[in-house]
Chain A
C-alpha cells in the first residue's frame, strides 16, 4: 500500500513511514524465512503484506487475525494474565504462527516454517515491533474537517444512490 493511512487510534501513517515499514518487514521476511508477514490495524485492515500471497483472502485473514488476538487478550484478562504486547504462538507440524500486539493500534502476524527455531522468530517479531514503533514515533496528524462536503438533504440521497448501485434484487 502506497498511501497514508489513518488508524483507529487517530494516528496517520505517512508515505515515508510506510516505506520504512516496508523495509523493516522485507528484511524480517528474509531473516525469519517467514512464509508471510502481515501488519494490520486492530480493526483487521491490512496495512502491509509481505510474502507469498498465493490464493490467500487478505480481508478475511486480517479480520480473523484481529479477532484472534482480541479473544486471546480477553482470555488473558479473564484469567488475570494480561500483559502489554500479548504474543500468541501456535505451533504446527509444518508452520508456526505468531500474532503480536504491537501497540494497541497495530498487530503483526508471522507464519514461519516449523524448521525455523521458535525462539528466534519470537525475537524477530519483538524486534520488528519496536522498529515499527520507532518508525511511527514521528506521527503526523493530517487535518480532518468536514468529510462530506454536502448539505444533509443531498447526503441522504447520495448515500442511498451509492447503496442502490451495489445492490441487486
Chain B
C-alpha cells in the first residue's frame, strides 16, 4: 500500500496465487483485455518458452475518484510451478490482498491444497497471515468434465469463510466478480487500518 495524501492517490497490490496451470495468468489477461486502455498499463509477462509464468505477470489500472481518492490497483500473478517457490515469495511481498485461483479438476485437488499451504506459510512469514489479509477464492475451470463440486473443493482446502467465486477464466466468466470482490475487501481493509 502506498498513499499520496496530497494527490489523494492510493496504490494497492493484489496478487493472484494458486497451483500451476490453474488460470492465474488467464485471469489477468482477461482483465487486461476488458479494462479501458485509457485506464490501464500494458501487461508485462515474464514467461518461459512454453508460456508458463517464470516470475510474474503485472499490470496496473486506475479507478476514477472514489470519495475524492484515486485508487490505482496493481495486479500480479505468481508462477505456480513447484520449483519457483522462491520467486513466488518475492511477488507476494507487499501484497494488500490475494486471490487464490484453484483448479476445479478432480485430478488437481492435491495440488490446490499444496499451493494453499505454501501460501499460508509465505503469508505468515510476511506477518500477513490468512485471516488478516483480504483473501478471495476463485474456483476456476468450472467447464471441465471432471470439475469437483465447489462444496467439496472447499472442504478439501479447509478454506474458511472467504468470498468465493466460480469461474471459467478463459472466456471471462467470474473474472470480474472476483476482481470486484478483492478490490472492495482491500479498500475496506485500508480504511480500517488507517482509522
Among B14-22, B61-69, B117-125, B135-143, the stretch in contact with A: B61-69
* Nearest Cβ on chain B to A89's Cβ, whole angstroms: 20
Residues of A60-79 contacting chain B, CB below 8 A: 60, 63-64, 67, 70-71, 74, 78
A12 within 8 A of B: yes
Which of the residues B2, B8, B42, B184 comes within 8 Å of A8, measured between beta carbons? B2
Q: How far is the CA of A158 from the CA of B64 in the complex (A)?
A: 10
Are B34 and A148 touching (Cβ within 8 A)? no
Chain B residues closer than 8 Å to A142, beta-carbon distance: 5-6
Q: Chain A at the B interface: mostly helix, strand, loop or mixed?
A: mixed
- For B42, list chain A residues within 8 Å (CB): 57, 59-60
Once A67-B56, A163-B183, A168-B36 are accepted as A-B contacts, the answer to whether A147 and B4 lie under 8 Å apart by CB is no
Question: What is the 8 Å Cβ interface bit string for chain B, positions 163-193, against chain A (1 contact, 0 not)?
Answer: 0000000000000100110011001101100
Which of A92-100, A110-118, A149-157 faces chain B?
A149-157
Counting residue pairs across A and B whose Cβ atoms lie within 8 Å, the total is: 126
Say yes or no: A163 contacts B180, CB within 8 Å: yes
Known contacts A147-B10, A160-B184; decide if A45 and B2 are in contact (CB<8 Å): yes
Q: How far is the CA of A57 from the CA of B195 in the complex (A)?
A: 36
B74 in contact (CB, < 8 A) = yes
Question: B156 interface residue, CB < 8 Å from A?
Answer: no
Could you write out 20 A-B pairs with CB less than 8 Å apart? A4-B4, A6-B4, A7-B2, A8-B2, A67-B55, A71-B87, A71-B90, A74-B86, A144-B3, A147-B190, A147-B194, A148-B67, A152-B191, A155-B67, A155-B191, A156-B184, A163-B179, A166-B63, A168-B34, A168-B35
Using a CB–CB distance below 8 Å, which chain B residues touch chain A?
1-8, 10-11, 13, 34-36, 39-42, 44, 55-56, 58, 60-69, 71, 74, 86-87, 90-91, 93-94, 176, 179-180, 183-184, 187-188, 190-191, 194-195
